[in-house]
């Protein structure tokens, strides 16, 4: 899958690294807690040779699905599909898993998963979310990935609020070997964003990724600040930011839904990074988020290292969600 939303890096850059074959393995391992809960519950519905699909079975199936974090709409959708396709017949476990997986995959595929890229000039990505969701780490992972692909990356340390934030991103930039624009603590984050976008444009960087301070979706003054940051970026680079990525912590479960609700319009989000799926049994929460908001998941965080980032692949994700615990 192309990382960028354009034809293919491979055709333009034959030296671009190929997609890692380990992505499914990585997602599967990271989603183990989620899949363990779900697969075991679904498996428990089975007696032996397959189950007769009747009202009673559909009720039990619905109860299992609703217990997962997939949400009521998806639980109903799957129950109705199994009812329609199999009523009064026997359905076996694997058949059912593949239907569930298909329904989830189709939902998650909507909107595409590639990162939007500027037609010309630098691609500017603004990263937002609540405190501690994984923004700065995700920026480091993303910067690492772009750098590995041969892109010139500039970071903007737009979290001027938290004392150690600038230092944290600076350390990442040194590890990755990319440049960074910083200002002192307490500086206007809009100024940092403006300067970063300007430098990216003037010095022809390929990608500029701008960090922001964590904030709650209910803090309207801070949400307005994000709007201002977006606007100043656009003054230097037309049509920027090309992506506003909302970083959600997968362990937040249903809270992630209120975060998506609060941030999506107020911050003009264009996609989600689902961080920390390695530590969560609630990875399924991405399904209702996709259904309720027009926000495709673009990337998933699988751990704390800079290589622990995967391009979101709906099929691999749906399969991993339902994988048998090992």
Ligand X SMILES: Nc1nc2c(ncn2[C@@H]2O[C@H](COP(=O)(O)OP(=O)(O)OP(=O)(O)O)[C@@H](O)[C@H]2O)c(=O)[nH]1
**Torsion-angle region of 313 (φ positive above 0: left; ψ -120 to 50: alpha; else: beta):** beta
Q: What does the alpha-carbon distance between residue 213 and residue 211 come to, in Å, rounded to a whole number?
A: 7
Q: Between residues 156 and 303, which has the closer beta carbon with respect to ligand X?
A: 303
Q: Between residues 135 and 242, which has the closer beta carbon with respect to Mg ion?
A: 135
Segment 91 to 150, residues that bind ligand X, using CB under 6 A: 129, 131-137
Give the one entry of ligand X, Mg ion, none that residue 51 binds, where binding means its C-beta sits below a cut-off of 5 to 8 angstroms depending on kind. none
Q: Between residues 68 and 136, which has the closer beta carbon with respect to Mg ion?
A: 136
Q: Which of 42, 108, 178, 275 binds ligand X (CB under 6 A)?
A: 275
Give the one entry of Mg ion, ligand X, none that residue 301 binds, where binding means its C-beta sits below a cut-off of 5 to 8 angstroms depending on kind. ligand X
User: Which residue bears the tokens 């709906």?
Assistant: 314
Q: Between residues 39 and 168, which has the closer beta carbon with respect to ligand X?
A: 168
Position 216 contacts ligand X (CB under 6 A): no
The distance of closest approach from Cβ of residue 115 to ligand X in the complex, given in angstroms and rounded to an integer, is 18
The distance of closest approach from Cβ of residue 217 to Mg ion in the complex, given in angstroms and rounded to an integer, is 16
| Residues in CB range of 259: below 8 A, 6 or more apart | 129, 130, 133, 217, 246, 248, 252
Distance between alpha carbon 69 and the CA centroid of its chain, in Å? 16
Q: Which of 50, 253, 268, 279 binds ligand X (CB under 6 A)?
A: 279
Query: What mask of x and - would describe binding to Mg ion in positions 83 to 122, judged by CB under 5 A?
Result: ----------------------------------------
- Binding residue count for Mg ion, defined by CB under 5 A: 2
Q: Which of 135, 141, 201, 242 binds Mg ion (CB under 5 A)?
A: 135
Position 33 contacts ligand X (CB under 6 A): no
Q: Between residues 129 and 262, which has the closer beta carbon with respect to ligand X?
A: 129
Q: Between residues 42 and 169, which has the closer beta carbon with respect to Mg ion?
A: 169
User: Which residue bears the tokens 């600038």?
Assistant: 166
Position 278 contacts ligand X (CB under 6 A): yes
Give the one entry of Mg ion, ligand X, none that residue 154 binds, where binding means its C-beta sits below a cut-off of 5 to 8 angstroms depending on kind. none
| Residues in CB range of 214: below 8 A, 6 or more apart | 129, 130, 131, 132, 133, 135, 159, 162
Residues that bind ligand X (CB under 6 A): 129, 131-137, 159, 162, 165, 214, 247, 275-276, 278-279, 301-304, 308
Residues near Mg ion (CB under 5 A): 135-136
């Amino acid at each position: 899958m192309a990382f960028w939303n354009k034809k293919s890096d491979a055709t333009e850059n034959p030296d671009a690294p190929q997609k890692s074959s380990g992505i499914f393995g990585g997602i599967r391992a990271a989603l183990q807690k989620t899949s363990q809960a779900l697969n075991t519950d679904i498996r428990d519905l089975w007696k032996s040779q397959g189950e007769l699909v009747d009202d009673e079975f559909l009720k039990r199936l619905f109860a299992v699905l609703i217990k997962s974090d997939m949400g009521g709409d998806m639980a109903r959708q799957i129950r109705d599909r199994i009812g329609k396709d199999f009523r009064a017949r026997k359905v076996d476990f694997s058949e059912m898993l593949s239907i569930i997986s298909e329904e989830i995959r189709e939902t998650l595929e909507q909107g595409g998963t590639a990162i939007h890229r500027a037609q010309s000039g630098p691609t500017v990505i603004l990263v937002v979310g609540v405190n501690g969701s994984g923004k700065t780490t995700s920026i480091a992972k993303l910067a690492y990935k772009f750098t590995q692909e041969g892109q010139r990356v500039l970071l903007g340390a737009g979290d001027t609020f938290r004392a150690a934030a600038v230092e944290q991103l600076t350390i990442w930039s040194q590890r990755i070997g990319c440049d960074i624009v910083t200002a002192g603590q307490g500086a206007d984050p809009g100024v940092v964003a403006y300067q970063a976008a300007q430098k990216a444009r003037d010095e022809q960087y390929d990608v500029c990724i701008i960090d922001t301070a964590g904030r709650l979706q209910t803090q309207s003054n801070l949400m307005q600040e994000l709007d201002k940051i977006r606007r100043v970026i656009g003054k230097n680079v037309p049509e920027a930011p090309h992506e506003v990525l909302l970083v959600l912590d997968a362990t937040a479960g249903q809270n992630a839904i209120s975060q998506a609700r609060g941030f999506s319009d107020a911050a003009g989000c264009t996609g989600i990074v689902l961080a920390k799926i390695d530590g969560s049994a609630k990875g399924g929460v991405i399904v209702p988020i996709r259904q309720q908001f027009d926000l495709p998941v673009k990337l998933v965080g699988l751990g704390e290292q800079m290589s622990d980032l995967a391009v979101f692949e709906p099929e691999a994700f749906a399969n991993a969600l339902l994988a048998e615990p090992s």
